[in-house]
Amino acid sequence: MKKFAIRLIWGFCFFGFYTTAVAQVNVDSIFQVANTYAKQHLYVDAIRTANLALKTDPKRGDILVFIANVYSWQDKNDSALIFLQKAKGMNYQHADLYESWMNVLLRSHQYQSLLLMSDEAEKQGYPNREDLLHKRLIAYSDLKEYTKGIQLAAQPENRSYIKDPSLNGMITDLFIKRNTNILSAYYTLDWFDHFTPQHLASLDYSTKLGENTLVVHSNFAHRFGLNDLQLESDFYLHVSKKQYMYFNYGYGFNASLFSRNRIGYEYYISFNHGFEVSLGGRYMQYPISKLFIVTAHAGKYVGKSWFSLRPFYVIKKGMKSLSFIGDYKLYGENQFDYWSVEVGFGNSPDDIYATSQTNGFNQLNAYKIELAKNILINRISEFHIGLGYTREEYSINQFRNRYTLEAGYKIHLK
């Protein structure tokens, strides 16, 4: 009798173990099907199948995390957070829980909550410190807490990750967004085959006023044996996320090389897929003439490339003219590292390098090309250099070669 009882107990144990093992294999098989559906973007089928597996074994936290991710991939982040909370309530605190939770908060732009979850993940031993740094930098950037992000990146335990190009670019972006006071210096030299060289120098200061930008220029020109100084200001008024207005006013002290008064206005609108257009005008008052310019521009980002075209239609008493400028930029790791090629046809008084009050200036022919390189030297300064060539008509049917060298330096200050 005793032996029979022992055999019976062993039989029940074996049956229980066998049943559990079979059930576990069955759950894993169903879960695998759910994963396959998710990889095929069949999200409804993936969630339905995962819930079927979960009914068989309600204690599977990994399945709850999976369902949360599938909801988040459909931009249903509120539902995703419910399932993540359920997994946490079951004391499921594996790395995939925190990774998924931070990703959901990132997709739903809940940056303050993302920082709190990053802290909790770190306390629970989340192993991917580079991922934590990446998520925190994004949060600090969008919360406009740029200094905190910079200080975080400077901590000794995070310095080894800065070598990653993506993280390095994010840190540079934090410096640029924080340091919104920009001091710039530019110099342009134009020389000719048989004419006296011409010079242009400028010193600029730019600052942010809330969402708006103010730029002040001081421009000095030496041409035709004359000197002139112009003070100029640009104001970029933020209208909405995809719209802004440009205002300009300049005053030439001698009004010999610059206009006495210069006024500009332009309205910019951005669309989806990196497309931007604008329409505006310029007014220039010289001692012996006045003119009005209608201008516009259309630009488009394609990957890391930027294409734009800008026409100038000059309206002047007794004459009209049309000129064009086309621009191409190829960007590197950030917005300040790029190559640019500019081509142009015609002369526009809007061009500060060659503006003149001579009556027929804007009607003369000119064919221009310029190659330039902009380099971000470090996180707070950049350098610009360009070489240009123009075949220009300086008098009717009289042409000359113009060679241009330009250089500039910017420093981004707090």
Would you write out the chain's pLDDT as a tens digit for each of its 414 residues? 444 444 434 333 433 333 333 344 488 999 999 999 999 999 999 999 999 999 989 889 999 999 999 999 999 999 999 999 999 999 998 999 999 999 999 999 999 999 999 999 999 999 999 999 999 999 999 999 999 999 999 999 998 888 888 898 899 999 999 999 999 999 999 999 888 999 999 999 999 999 999 999 999 999 989 999 999 999 999 999 999 999 999 999 999 889 999 999 999 999 999 999 999 999 999 888 888 999 999 999 999 999 999 999 988 777 788 999 999 999 998 889 999 999 999 877 666 655 554 545 566 788 999 999 999 999 999 999 999 999 988 888 889 999 999 999 999 998
> In residues, how long is the chain?
414
All structural domains of the chain: 2-127 (1.25.40.10), 180-413 (2.40.160.40)
CB 51 within 8 A of CB 75: no
CB 346 within 8 A of CB 367: no
Task: State the sign of the Cα–Cα–Cα–Cα dihedral 384, 295, 346, 284.
Answer: negative
Q: Cβ atoms within 10 A of the Cβ of 379, count?
A: 16
Identity at 76, one-letter amino acid code: K
Axis crossing angle, helix 77-89 with helix 95-107, rounded to the nearest 10: 160
Residue 74 phi/psi, 5° resolution? -95, 10
- Across the chain, which distance is largest between two alpha carbons, in Å? 126
DSSP symbol at 325: E
pLDDT (0 to 100) of residue 288: 83
CB 27 within 8 A of CB 62: no
CB 193 within 8 A of CB 401: yes
pLDDT (0 to 100) of residue 394: 82
Helix (H, G, I), strand (E, B) or coil at 358: coil
pLDDT (0 to 100) of residue 8: 38
Contacts of 261 (CB under 8 A, 6+ apart): 249, 250, 251, 252, 283, 284, 285
Contacts of 262 (CB under 8 A, 6+ apart): 230, 232, 248, 249, 250, 251, 252, 282, 283, 284, 285
| pTM score | 0.79
Tokens linked to 155: 């901590």
pLDDT (0 to 100) of residue 163: 83
CB 293 within 8 A of CB 274: no
